[in-house]
Structure 1
């Protein structure tokens, strides 16, 4: 029995889209906040402290600790995003580290694997992202693809600057001529009624 199709694929099927860009933080044709994992990072990964896991304490101080883990990523006035992060982390306390662990497990030989990606890719980074920005050029060289640096933001830049993030993606994948193409793709797959990336921006901002 074949495995179930991922939700994103099912959504594309329902819209009649055979092709189209996919935005993702750690994988997909659009990469955001993805650090270049080299030999040094692989060696240090087993000894690194937990990123999001905290031990529950009777006085509730672990909630402040969890908040402070990500507070430096956000500006004053972005507390709603931090609220969502704390809620998400508390809903899966025993699994909250799995995403970070998977990044290091999957990218054991990142530089070698990136060379096999043939689809158009855009690596997007934020100027305050001290994890990804220092290695952005190294990442781009290994990938052999383009990069873009937004005007502001930190690790959660798509959440902080959703409009600019969508504009960068739309221009690259819908307005520019992609390799091998003879003109801008526009809205592929007959999805004119749906529009390019950014249609759910208001929904995301209103969460």
Structure 2
């Protein structure tokens, strides 16, 4: 998969390529993770070469990256699962095999988002939406029922002393509060279907995540 688009950065168009990443991109992908998820995000959750190798060998269609002028600026990774194998309650570690996706199941019906990240200076450019849109296209191309994934809620750390995660989500959905991740996912067309406690070690989110889906409109 490969497409060319224009992003607008500081009002100026920049030709951007979205494509599947390969082994040659591993070092650049890890650099993007390092810049995208600084402390207090756990360093051990950044990609390592072994995980990336599993991604490109097991489900290359689910490996997306974006580059401008040869510089990597973002990436997105997914795997296919059968949610009947996991039930209604799951965490990131279990459903992504700790990011190694060795549980990838081509007979499943759900494309599960393992990760999406964008370099900070490009977060207002729209590349996150383009990566998400491209993964939606992957869902349609593969004939899957939906895209699903857990969204961090980093804004919750400012309100954890006063409300529960569920109330925080309600206020974001009502437009009273904005969350950097959840609001972004809503703008991408993702719909909340649940809230998971102890989903991922994440101090800002108090380890919580909003489970959000996008349904294939052609099925």
Tell me which interval the TM-score lies in, with the shorter structure as reference length.
0.3 to 0.5
Structure of greater Rg:
1
More relative contact order, 1 or 2 (CA 8 Å, 6+ apart): 1
Higher helix fraction: Structure 1 or Structure 2? Answer: 1
Higher strand fraction: Structure 1 or Structure 2? Answer: 2
TM-score by length of 1: 0.33
